[in-house]
Amino acid sequence: MGRDDLTNDEWARLAPLLPKSGGRGGRWSDHRTVINGILFRIRTGVPWWDLPNRFGSWKTAYERHRRWSADGTWDRTVQAVQAGADARGQIDWSMVSVDSTSCRAHQHAAGAPRRTPRVPKRRSTPRQHRPDEGLGRSRGGLTSKTHLAGEGGLRPLSLLITPGQWGDSPQPIPVLERIRVKRLGGGHPRTRPDHLGGDNRRYLRRRQIKHTIPEPKDQRANRRRRGSRGGRPAGFDKERYKRRNEVERTINRLKRFRAVATRYDKRAYVFHGTVTAASLRLWLSP
Q: Which of the 8 DSSP states describes residue 233?
A: P
Write the pLDDT tens digit of every residue in 158-174: 999 998 888 777 788 88
Q: What are phi and psi of 230, to 5 degrees?
A: -80, -5
Distance in angstroms (rounded) separating the CA atoms of residues 24 and 176:
37
Q: Rounded CA gap, 203 and 182, in Å?
A: 23
As a whole number, the mean pLDDT across the chain is 82
Using only the alpha carbons of the chain, give its radius of gyration.
Answer: 20
The C-alpha atoms of residue 233 and residue 215 are separated, in whole angstroms, by 9
Output the pLDDT for position 122: 47
In the chain, what are the domain boundaries?
Answer: 92-111+130-262
Tell me the pLDDT band of 2, cut-offs 50, 70 and 90. confident
Strand partners, 146: 101, 161
Q: Identify any residues that bridge with 195 across adjacent strands, giving them in sequence order.
A: 210
User: Per residue in 73-92, pLDDT tens?
Assistant: 999 999 999 999 999 999 99
pLDDT surpassing 90 at residue 26: no
Q: Average pLDDT, stretch 246-272?
A: 94
Q: Across residues 237-242, what is the average pLDDT?
A: 68
Q: What is the pLDDT of residue 127?
A: 45
Domain 92-111+130-262 classification at class level: alpha beta
